[in-house]
């Protein structure tokens, strides 16, 4: 390859890499990643939370058939976007049936631009899943658990939340 072509090729690669690594480039790259949903058991979701020690973890239980869940979901997406560079991650866990992943859950998450980890409860007994998070929890959704950077539960938010209430819980956890 001639030296001029080689220089142009490397310059183009550096420009592309710079754009990809910039905040806007990273956002564009993330938006090209397909949104997915994985059915998980209690140990798997507990491991997913534990693997994120050093970050504040916001775990939201929701379903497409739950009007308050659907109403608050854009605020979770906004939260993830606003705090992505501040060691905060959002994990969504759908209470939908596995058969509803393709017709309901994935289209909703895609439309919502939920570029964070999305799971679906895989349990023969939902009470086992619920009790693993809070034995006093009756299973009502939406329900959000906020873990501090040490992986310790910092806040539990019951019912529909707003961006301001999510932000307050995350800010509290970031201070711990």
Q: What is the pLDDT of residue 12?
A: 36
The predicted-structure confidence for 74-106, as pLDDT tens digits, reads as follows 999 999 999 989 999 999 999 999 999 999 999
Question: How many Å apart are CA 156 and CA 138, to the nearest integer?
Answer: 13
Residue range of the domain that includes 108 = 35-174
Q: Are residues 163 and 123 in the same domain?
A: yes
Q: What is the pLDDT of residue 59?
A: 97
- Within 13 A of 57's CA, how many CA atoms are on the CB side? 22
Residue 86 · residue 174 · CB < 8 Å: yes
Residue 63 or residue 129, greater confidence = 63
Q: Are residues 7 and 53 in the same domain?
A: no
Q: What share of the chain has pLDDT > 90, as a percent?
A: 71
Domain with 116 in it: what CATH number?
Answer: 3.40.30.10
The predicted-structure confidence for 24-54, as pLDDT tens digits, reads as follows 333 434 556 789 999 999 999 999 999 999 9
Q: What is the DSSP string of 11-80?
A: HHHHHHHHHHHSHHHHHHHHHTSPP--EEE-HHHHHHHHHTTTTSEEEEEEE-TT-HHHHHHHHHHHHHH
Indicate the pairing of strand 153-158 with strand 88-94.
Answer: unpaired
38: phi > 0 → left, psi -120 to 50 → alpha, else beta; which?
Answer: beta
For residue 145, pLDDT over 50 is answered with: yes
For residue 22, pLDDT over 70 is answered with: no
Q: Are residues 39 and 27 in the same domain?
A: no
Q: pLDDT category, 5, cuts 50, 70, 90?
A: very low
Q: What is the mean pLDDT of the chain?
A: 84
Q: How many domains does the chain have?
A: 2
Q: Are residues 21 and 108 in the same domain?
A: no
pTM for the full model? 0.81
Q: What share of the chain has pLDDT > 70, as a percent?
A: 82
Question: How many Å apart are CA 145 and CA 135, to the nearest integer?
Answer: 13
- DSSP assigned state of 157: E
Task: Find tokens 């040490």 and name the residue.
Answer: 150
User: Edge-to-edge strand order for the sheet containing 38-40?
Assistant: 38-40, 117-121, 88-94, 56-62, 143-147, 153-158
Q: Are residues 166 and 115 in the same domain?
A: yes
- Radius of gyration (Cα) for the chain, nearest Å? 19
Question: How many Å apart are CA 123 and CA 41, to the nearest integer?
Answer: 6
Average pLDDT on 51-70 reads 97
Look at residue 140 and give its three-state secondary structure.
coil
Q: Are residues 117 and 166 in the same domain?
A: yes
Q: Are residues 26 and 68 in the same domain?
A: no
The predicted-structure confidence for 121-138, as pLDDT tens digits, reads as follows 988 788 888 888 889 999
Q: Which of 14-23, 128-137, 159-168 comes out lowest in average pLDDT? A: 14-23
Q: What is the pLDDT of residue 31?
A: 56
Q: What is the pLDDT of residue 32?
A: 60
């Amino acid at each position: 390859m001639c030296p001029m072509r080689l220089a142009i090729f490397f310059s183009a690669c550096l420009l592309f890499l710079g754009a990809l690594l910039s905040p806007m480039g990273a956002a564009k790259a993330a938006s090209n990643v397909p949104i997915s949903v994985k059915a998980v058991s209690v140990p798997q979701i507990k491991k997913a939370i534990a693997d994120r020690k050093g970050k504040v973890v916001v775990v939201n239980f929701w379903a497409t058939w739950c009007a308050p869940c659907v109403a608050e979901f854009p605020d979770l997406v906004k939260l993830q976007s606003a705090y992505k560079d501040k060691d905060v991650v959002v994990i969504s866990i759908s209470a939908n049936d596995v058969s509803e992943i393709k017709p309901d859950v994935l289209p909703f998450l895609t439309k919502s631009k939920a570029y964070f980890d999305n799971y679906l409860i895989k349990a023969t007994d939902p009470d086992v899943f619920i009790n693993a998070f809070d034995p006093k929890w009756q299973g009502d959704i939406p329900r959000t658990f906020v873990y501090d950077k040490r992986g310790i539960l910092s806040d539990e938010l019951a019912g529909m939340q707003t961006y301001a209430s999510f932000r307050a819980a995350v800010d509290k956890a970031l201070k711990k």
